[in-house]
Amino acid sequence: AQKITQTQPGMFVQEKEAVTLDCTYDTSDPSYGLFWYKQPSSGEMIFLIYQGSYDQQNATEGRYSLNFQKARKSANLVISASQLGDSAMYFCAMRESSNYQLIWGAGTKLIIKP
Confirm or reject binding of residue 37 to another protein (CB under 8 A).
Answer: yes
* Closest C-alpha to 58, from 41, 80, 40: 80
Binding status of residue 57 toward another protein by CB under 8 A: no
Min CB(51)–another protein separation in Å: 8
Which residue lies nearer to another protein by CB, 18 or 45? Answer: 45
Quote the least distance from Cβ 59 to another protein, whole Å: 10
Question: Does residue 50 belong to the site contacting another protein (CB under 8 A)?
Answer: yes
Bridge partners of residue 95, in order along the sequence: 33, 102
String of DSSP letters for 38-84 = EE-TT---EEEEEEETT-SS--EETTEEEEEETTTTEEEEEESS--G
Binding stretches for another protein (CB under 8 A): 33, 35, 37, 42-47, 50, 52, 91, 95, 99-102, 104-107
